Structure 1
Protein backbone atom coordinates (compact mmCIF):
# COMPACT_ATOMS: atom_id res chain seq x y z
CA UNK A 1 0.00 0.00 0.00
CA UNK A 2 1.19 3.49 -0.75
CA UNK A 3 1.38 6.01 2.07
CA UNK A 4 -1.18 8.77 1.93
CA UNK A 5 0.42 12.20 2.39
CA UNK A 6 -0.91 14.26 5.26
CA UNK A 7 -2.18 17.62 3.96
CA UNK A 8 -1.45 19.31 7.32
CA UNK A 9 2.27 18.57 7.23
CA UNK A 10 4.27 21.12 5.30
CA UNK A 11 7.37 19.99 3.43
CA UNK A 12 8.75 23.50 2.97
CA UNK A 13 11.15 24.71 5.66
CA UNK A 14 10.08 27.64 7.79
CA UNK A 15 12.47 30.53 8.23
CA UNK A 16 13.58 31.88 11.58
CA UNK A 17 12.36 35.28 12.78
CA UNK A 18 14.51 38.17 11.60
CA UNK A 19 15.68 39.02 15.14
CA UNK A 20 17.05 35.50 15.64
CA UNK A 21 18.81 35.63 12.28
CA UNK A 22 20.48 38.92 13.23
CA UNK A 23 21.60 37.54 16.61
CA UNK A 24 22.96 34.39 14.97
CA UNK A 25 24.96 36.47 12.49
CA UNK A 26 26.36 38.68 15.25
CA UNK A 27 27.57 35.74 17.34
CA UNK A 28 28.65 33.70 14.33
CA UNK A 29 31.47 36.05 13.39
CA UNK A 30 33.79 35.61 16.41
CA UNK A 31 32.98 31.94 16.88
CA UNK A 32 33.41 31.02 13.21
CA UNK A 33 36.97 32.39 13.38
CA UNK A 34 37.72 29.96 16.21
CA UNK A 35 36.06 27.05 14.41
CA UNK A 36 37.96 27.83 11.20
CA UNK A 37 41.26 27.67 13.05
CA UNK A 38 40.59 24.27 14.60
CA UNK A 39 39.31 25.35 17.99
CA UNK A 40 36.89 22.62 19.00
CA UNK A 41 36.46 23.38 22.68
CA UNK A 42 33.66 25.91 22.46
CA UNK A 43 31.79 23.76 24.95
CA UNK A 44 34.61 24.36 27.43
CA UNK A 45 34.32 28.11 26.85
CA UNK A 46 30.57 27.87 27.36
CA UNK A 47 30.99 25.97 30.62
CA UNK A 48 33.56 28.44 31.94
CA UNK A 49 31.36 31.36 30.97
CA UNK A 50 28.34 29.84 32.68
CA UNK A 51 30.40 29.07 35.79
CA UNK A 52 31.67 32.65 35.92
CA UNK A 53 28.09 33.84 35.53
CA UNK A 54 27.01 31.56 38.39
CA UNK A 55 29.72 32.99 40.66
CA UNK A 56 28.82 36.56 39.66
CA UNK A 57 25.13 35.95 40.38
CA UNK A 58 26.05 34.46 43.76
CA UNK A 59 28.09 37.57 44.58
CA UNK A 60 25.17 39.82 43.68
CA UNK A 61 22.63 37.66 45.48
CA UNK A 62 24.53 36.92 48.68
CA UNK A 63 26.82 39.92 48.92
CA UNK A 64 30.17 40.97 47.60
CA UNK A 65 32.24 39.00 50.07
CA UNK A 66 33.43 35.48 50.51
CA UNK A 67 31.09 34.82 53.44
CA UNK A 68 28.38 33.27 51.25
CA UNK A 69 30.45 30.31 50.16
CA UNK A 70 30.33 27.41 52.57
CA UNK A 71 32.70 25.30 50.49
CA UNK A 72 35.70 26.10 48.29
CA UNK A 73 34.92 27.28 44.75
CA UNK A 74 36.26 23.98 43.40
CA UNK A 75 33.36 22.16 45.10
CA UNK A 76 30.90 24.51 43.40
CA UNK A 77 32.63 23.82 40.09
CA UNK A 78 32.24 20.06 40.54
CA UNK A 79 28.60 20.52 41.48
CA UNK A 80 28.11 22.73 38.46
CA UNK A 81 29.49 20.12 36.08
Structure 2
Protein backbone atom coordinates (compact mmCIF):
# COMPACT_ATOMS: atom_id res chain seq x y z
CA UNK A 1 0.00 0.00 0.00
CA UNK A 2 1.31 3.43 -0.94
CA UNK A 3 1.97 6.06 1.68
CA UNK A 4 -0.82 8.54 2.30
CA UNK A 5 1.46 11.41 1.30
CA UNK A 6 2.01 9.87 -2.15
CA UNK A 7 -1.72 9.40 -2.67
CA UNK A 8 -2.39 12.96 -1.49
CA UNK A 9 0.22 14.32 -3.89
CA UNK A 10 -1.45 12.48 -6.76
CA UNK A 11 -4.87 13.89 -5.83
CA UNK A 12 -3.37 17.38 -5.69
CA UNK A 13 -1.91 16.96 -9.18
CA UNK A 14 -5.28 15.76 -10.51
CA UNK A 15 -6.98 18.87 -9.11
CA UNK A 16 -4.33 21.18 -10.59
CA UNK A 17 -4.54 19.55 -14.03
CA UNK A 18 -8.31 20.06 -14.05
CA UNK A 19 -7.99 23.64 -12.80
CA UNK A 20 -5.46 24.78 -15.41
CA UNK A 21 -6.61 22.64 -18.38
CA UNK A 22 -8.36 25.43 -20.29
CA UNK A 23 -5.62 27.96 -19.64
CA UNK A 24 -2.90 25.53 -20.74
CA UNK A 25 -4.81 24.67 -23.93
CA UNK A 26 -5.27 28.35 -24.79
CA UNK A 27 -1.60 29.15 -24.21
CA UNK A 28 -0.49 26.16 -26.29
CA UNK A 29 -2.78 27.15 -29.15
CA UNK A 30 -1.44 30.72 -29.06
CA UNK A 31 2.16 29.48 -28.87
CA UNK A 32 2.97 31.50 -25.76
CA UNK A 33 5.64 29.21 -24.36
CA UNK A 34 7.05 31.71 -21.87
CA UNK A 35 3.61 32.18 -20.28
CA UNK A 36 3.19 28.40 -20.22
CA UNK A 37 6.43 28.12 -18.24
CA UNK A 38 4.99 30.41 -15.56
CA UNK A 39 2.21 27.94 -14.71
CA UNK A 40 2.78 25.38 -11.93
CA UNK A 41 4.63 22.24 -13.01
CA UNK A 42 1.98 20.00 -11.46
CA UNK A 43 -0.67 21.50 -13.75
CA UNK A 44 0.78 19.52 -16.66
CA UNK A 45 -1.09 16.31 -17.46
CA UNK A 46 2.12 14.37 -18.16
CA UNK A 47 2.97 14.49 -14.46
CA UNK A 48 -0.02 12.30 -13.60
CA UNK A 49 0.62 8.63 -12.89
CA UNK A 50 -2.00 5.92 -13.12
CA UNK A 51 -2.49 4.69 -9.56
CA UNK A 52 -4.92 2.32 -7.90
CA UNK A 53 -7.81 4.30 -6.42
CA UNK A 54 -7.90 2.12 -3.31
CA UNK A 55 -4.32 1.18 -2.50
CA UNK A 56 -2.31 3.76 -4.45
CA UNK A 57 -0.20 1.06 -6.11
CA UNK A 58 1.45 2.45 -9.28
CA UNK A 59 2.26 -0.85 -10.99
CA UNK A 60 -0.18 -3.40 -12.37
CA UNK A 61 -2.84 -0.73 -12.98
CA UNK A 62 -5.98 -1.87 -14.83
CA UNK A 63 -7.30 1.18 -16.64
CA UNK A 64 -10.82 -0.18 -17.24
CA UNK A 65 -11.44 -0.67 -13.52
CA UNK A 66 -9.13 2.04 -12.13
CA UNK A 67 -7.52 -0.35 -9.64
CA UNK A 68 -4.40 -2.50 -9.46
CA UNK A 69 -4.31 -6.17 -10.36
CA UNK A 70 -3.87 -7.17 -6.72
CA UNK A 71 -6.90 -5.20 -5.56
CA UNK A 72 -8.86 -6.41 -8.58
CA UNK A 73 -8.16 -10.05 -7.72
CA UNK A 74 -9.17 -9.60 -4.08
CA UNK A 75 -12.39 -7.84 -5.01
CA UNK A 76 -13.24 -10.30 -7.81
CA UNK A 77 -12.78 -13.33 -5.56
CA UNK A 78 -14.93 -11.66 -2.90
CA UNK A 79 -17.65 -11.05 -5.52
CA UNK A 80 -17.50 -7.27 -5.23
CA UNK A 81 -17.10 -6.63 -8.99
CA UNK A 82 -20.30 -7.39 -10.94
CA UNK A 83 -19.95 -9.72 -13.92
CA UNK A 84 -16.44 -10.94 -13.02
CA UNK A 85 -15.85 -14.52 -11.97
CA UNK A 86 -12.89 -16.83 -11.79
CA UNK A 87 -12.33 -18.87 -14.93
CA UNK A 88 -12.45 -22.66 -14.69
CA UNK A 89 -12.48 -25.30 -17.40
TM-score by length of 1: 0.32
Rg: which structure is higher?
A: 1
Higher relative contact order (CA 8 A, sep 6+): 2
Larger fraction in helix: 1
Larger fraction in strand: 2
